[in-house]
Amino acid sequence: MAKMPVEKVAPFILEQARAAYRQREISYPVDYILDLAFSMAQQNGALVAQQLSNWAWNRYDVELTPEEVLRTPREQLRERFEVAQKRWIHEGQLEKSVDESLAKHGGNTEELAKWIRERFMMEATAEELADEKTRRQLMLDKGRLFFRSELTALERFVLLSILDSAWKDHLYLMDQLRDSVSLRAYAEQDPRIVYKREGASQFREMLRLVRDRVTDLIFRARITQGSQVRNVYNAQQAEHAEAGSVMENGASEKDAEQGGESESEAKSRHERRAAAAMRGREAKGGRSSQRDRHKRR
């Protein structure tokens, strides 16, 4: 890179960043689920093994018995799931699955919506699928969101955390500017024009800082059960709440709460949700218990 022409440096860096992000799409969802599973395994290993087995089937069509989960080292599970994740989001398996569903159900939007709910565990309506021109793309978008839901939740959490802090800082700076701008009149400057010009400049600088901070943290941050994510720029602490059963739905909808909650309250809330999710799984059964590919598709 040291000998690379200046005009080629930016495209090279951009391509490297894209490659790193594609790898992040593969590794982060798998790491998140395994972190959660192994932390819960201390309480009930057999139940977690069953849930991880169901998750692998629901997510990737990977047949893995609870017994195999228990005797397989974590690193081997990680490699196996990453291969499956890559196959679905980067190697055409998602497109193949969607095309098979379209060929099977044709223009029956009710059946297509049902298939999306069962396969991707996401809501879809017949009205959304009514337009034949956008139908396939909508199904692909639902599928991509399903396979990278954990990373999407992390990105949302990081963005909102940094934006919240940056916006508060911006409001403080605008207050400071308003208090001092009247002094510009002594320099024969219109305070109102100065306030608008410098306020706009401060706003653009805030957006630049948000972009830089989010880009940096997206490649490094991780959220796991019971852990706290520190914003390295403003020393804020934030707690990430798990929502629903991640073994069944991945991390499709996760809440991020900043402050205002003690560790004991967060732990109690998580335990209640986890217990409710497990009870719901036992009562629901559903797709993972059937293990019938043709029926599912």
pLDDT at 277: 45
Q: Strands 255-257 and 228-230, how do they pair?
A: unpaired
User: Is the pLDDT reported for residue 273 higher than 70?
Assistant: no
Mean pLDDT, residues 123-130 taken together: 92
pLDDT, tens digit, 9 for 90 and up, residues 256-266: 333 334 444 44
Contact between residue 139 and residue 128 where contact means Cβ atoms under 8 Å apart: no
Apex 123 CA angle, 122 and 128, nearest 5: 125
Question: In which region does residue 257 sit, left (phi positive, over 0), alpha (psi from -120 to 50) or beta (all else)?
Answer: beta
CA distance linking residue 198 with residue 178, whole number of Å: 10
Amino acid at 215: T
Contact between residue 42 and residue 36 where contact means Cβ atoms under 8 Å apart: no
Q: Which residue has the higher pLDDT, 282 or 180?
A: 180
pLDDT at 34: 94
User: Is the pLDDT reported for residue 115 higher than 80?
Assistant: yes
- What values do phi and psi take at 140, rounded to 5? -65, -40
Mean pLDDT, residues 13-38 taken together: 93
CA distance linking residue 255 with residue 131, whole number of Å: 33
User: Is the pLDDT reported for residue 242 higher than 80?
Assistant: no
pLDDT at 246: 42
Mean pLDDT, residues 135-150 taken together: 95
Q: Mean pLDDT for the chain?
A: 80
Helix/strand/coil percentages in the chain, nearest 5: 75, 5, 25
pLDDT at 70: 93
pLDDT at 291: 54
CA distance linking residue 112 with residue 101, whole number of Å: 7
pLDDT at 188: 81
Tokens of 237: 């602490």
Q: Is the pTM of this model over 0.75?
A: no
* Continuous H helices in 41-131: 45-60, 66-71, 74-90, 93-105, 109-120
Mean pLDDT, residues 234-244 taken together: 36
Amino acid at 161: S
Tokens of 16: 């490297």
Binned at pLDDT 50, 70 and 90, residue 21 comes out as very high
pLDDT, tens digit, 9 for 90 and up, residues 50-65: 999 999 999 999 999 9
pLDDT at 59: 96
User: Is the pLDDT reported for residue 232 higher than 60?
Assistant: no
CA distance linking residue 221 with residue 223, whole number of Å: 7
pLDDT, tens digit, 9 for 90 and up, residues 43-97: 889 999 999 999 999 999 999 999 999 999 999 999 999 999 999 999 999 999 9
pLDDT at 8: 81
CA distance linking residue 226 with residue 232, whole number of Å: 19
pLDDT, tens digit, 9 for 90 and up, residues 2-14: 677 777 888 888 8
User: Is the pLDDT reported for residue 282 higher than 70?
Assistant: no
Alpha-carbon torsion (57, 60, 63, 67), positive or negative: negative
Binned at pLDDT 50, 70 and 90, residue 224 comes out as low
pLDDT at 185: 78
Tokens of 119: 């396969």
pLDDT at 7: 76
